[in-house]
Amino acid sequence: MDYEPRLAIGGWGENPALDRARLQIHLDALVASNVAILRAYPDFPRIYSGVVWYRSPEDQCNGCDDDDPWSDAEAARRQGFVDCEDAAAWLAAERIVRDGIPARVAFRIVYDARARRQRIHVTIETDTRRDGSWIGREDPALVLGMK
């Protein structure tokens, strides 16, 4: 059984700096949830092991325009698919727990021509330098089939 809370971020678009800060907080929470899962279940499958594939938010909710369900690694494994934030949060947790590599999720705003609107796209950054900069970037959604 999955518990499926819905998060509504109010006032989106009124204060872009606040929007970005709140979005990062929620993405970091998804990574933290996945870190907890991987620590609790050492044999939990890796994201690239073939247990999930990429599926766009529109395809997840049959063409809906404004819904973007987020799934932690356990829910994603059960449903068999991820979108970009699900994949990035799972892979970031893997890098932290399984590989011992510092990792975080990072997002950018992109224009989605298919949906004719802006969306977020989430990837991960890894390997900090002494100055605190992040030097590696991975895009697990692309690896899992995003076009």
Q: What is the pLDDT of residues 74-99, one digit of tens each?
A: 999 999 999 999 999 999 999 999 99
Comparing C-alpha atoms, which of 130, 144, 146, 2 is closest to residue 72? 2
% of residues, the chain, pLDDT over 70: 92
In a domain? residue 7: no
Better-scored residue on pLDDT, 146 or 74: 74
In a domain, 41, yes or no: yes
Region at 140 (left for phi over 0; alpha for psi -120 to 50; beta for the rest): alpha
Q: Where are the alpha helices (DSSP H) in 3-127?
A: 16-40, 57-60, 73-79, 84-97
d(CA 96, CA 89): 11
CB of 13 closer than 8 Å to CB of 66 = no
| Coil vs helix vs strand at 127 | strand
- Domain count across the chain: 1
**Pairwise CA distance, residues 107 & 91, whole Å:** 14
Task: Please state, for a pLDDT cut of 90, what percent of the chain lies above it.
Answer: 54
Is residue 93 one of the residues assigned to a domain? yes
Task: Tell whether 74 is covered by a domain.
Answer: yes
In a domain, 1, yes or no: no
Domain that holds residue 33: 16-143
Taking the model in full, what pTM does it have? Answer: 0.86
